[in-house]
Amino acid sequence: MNILLVCAAGMSTSLLVNRMNDAAQEKGIEVHIEAHPVGSVTSYADQSDVILLGPQVRYELKKIQGMYPDKPVEVINMQDYGMMNGQKVLDHAIELLNK
């Protein structure tokens, strides 16, 4: 499973990537997670199974959903993002894939 996290600069989301990787390792799930700035979404989205946007770029949701209609694209829950809750964000990504 490949998960793309999209944010304003790709910096703050790096910590969330680490926490999600830790949660995946604890569950024995093989996953590849990357964080990139919203401006470079087209360079990475094709290889991803799920695209999650940081709350700070939620205004790009409709645009990115339109660009990738065959992929789940959603905004990360603001509270989970703020708390850097990698477990919940990972669970949400898995849930989106299983829809």
Out of 3, 5, 7, 31, the active site residue is 7
Is 79 a residue of the active site? no
Both tokens of residue 37?
């700035």
Q: Are 39 and 9 in contact (CB under 8 A)?
A: no
15: Cβ–Cβ under 8 A, 6 or more apart, which residues? Answer: 84
Q: Which residues are known to be catalytic?
A: 7
